[in-house]
Amino acid sequence: MATEGPATCRVQVAEHPRLLKLKEVFKSKFGSIPKFYVRAPGRVNIIGEHIDYCGYPVLPMAVEQDMLIAVEPVKTHTLQLANTNPLYPDFSTSDNNIQIDKTKPLWHNYFLCGLKGIQEHFGLNKLTGMNCLVDGTIPPSSGLSSSSALVCCAGLVTLTVLGMHLSKVELAEICAKSERYIGTEGGGMDQSISFLAEDGTAKLIEFSPLKATDVKLPSEAVFVIANSCVEMNKAATSHFNIRVMECRLAAKLLAKYKGLQWDKVLRLEEVQANLGVSLEEMLLITEDALHPEPYSSEEVCRCLEISLQELRTQILSPNTQDVPIFKLYQRAKHVYSEAARVLQFKKICEEAPDNMVQLLGELMTQSHVSCRDMYECSCPELDQLVDICRKFGAQGSRLTGAGWGGCTVSIVPADKLPSFLANVREAYYQKNNRSLAPEKQSLFATKPGGGALVFLEA
């Protein structure tokens, strides 16, 4: 399993309407036919929000919505990219030195992240030549990981064109690292589940080293995704990176308070590991070491005995250097409590008590409250949607993904599903007159899907 690469399947394209349509559009665009197709799924994070980049395990599953790319390798060192969605303009380059503009999260830059990550891994400095047509069914900026699915898909496309082999774990690690070229300091959950997902099971994803463990979800419940219709692109704003830096600073202040070598510490998990204490004890240490009032840059410098210049150049990321205040207590409290909820969720799934769905729902709702109040990554629409979902039969509901918009995920008893869908559709989408495109108004039950694949025409 550790060395296994993504599966390759032979398919009759004529029997798959989406592949067939992609093949036809590809032919009209490039005047040739694709040699192969690559799929990478989006994901829904069931619980464990904003903790992967702090070093803690998360619990996502892949969804059926995905990125699909038709590919034709070419002899010239030219990349030509097109998208079936006319909102995303064509792009081409022959530049061997791939430059990714962090100031503009344009769609093709996510493809370039995946391409660049693989090329650099193998030490290649000539651009891999190919024609690619991208077709995505994941709503953009919805918290279902459309951007990471595109990075992963591009990474697997490049690997396949080069005829090289990497394991799923290696691919996930390369793609997680290379997505940072776009400027987001993410953790690695999205890329990991895109490659390591399997049909019928959610996964506990652990980091350092990367490892995925099956988590069997309750058969008597369904997970329902509802899109708030508020878009949030985490590469286009600094909210996300500010949270990453607040967690980094909290880790350093906690480490210094406990007499650890704070300058080597980057993640909250490292503080716990170095102290050898439980998550519950970390919450108590946070209470003692940090104050609830926001910290100014000057106070952080006083606590760490460093200059403002050192803080800005050695600790903060480029787009967070001018942030005036940091809420360290609240962010650390969320991370340590959320990490504990993930482990409780997995334990309940394993023990399967009679009131399992209720217990899992309570953890999901607690997670949302913490995201809303301690991490401040919710928004009024997400809060309203969570309330509506709980009112109409969800045992628990929470925002999923980075937040500030995007989707909620709810756990719903299977026998309540039809009435739940009808009531939520009316109460949130129709009442609020959210007359957006149908795919944006996504409200759908989902089950754990498989990971990234290569399709060859039989």
Catalytic residues: 190
The answer to whether residues 328 and 295 touch, using CB atoms and an 8 Å cutoff, is: yes
> Which residues have a Cβ under 8 Å from the Cβ of 287 and sit 6 or more positions away?
none
Give the residue carrying structure tokens 């919805």: 142
The Cα–Cα gap between 282 and 265 comes to 15
Give the residue carrying structure tokens 């047509």: 133
Handedness of CA 374, 377, 378, 380 (dihedral sign): positive
Pairing of strands 130-136, 79-83: parallel
Q: What's the DSSP call for residue 416?
A: G
Torsion angle (degrees, nearest 10) of CA 164, 170, 175, 178: -90
The Cα–Cα gap between 347 and 358 comes to 14
CA 269 vs CA 49, 193, 278, 279, 336: distances in Å:
14, 21, 11, 9, 8
The Cα–Cα gap between 329 and 294 comes to 8
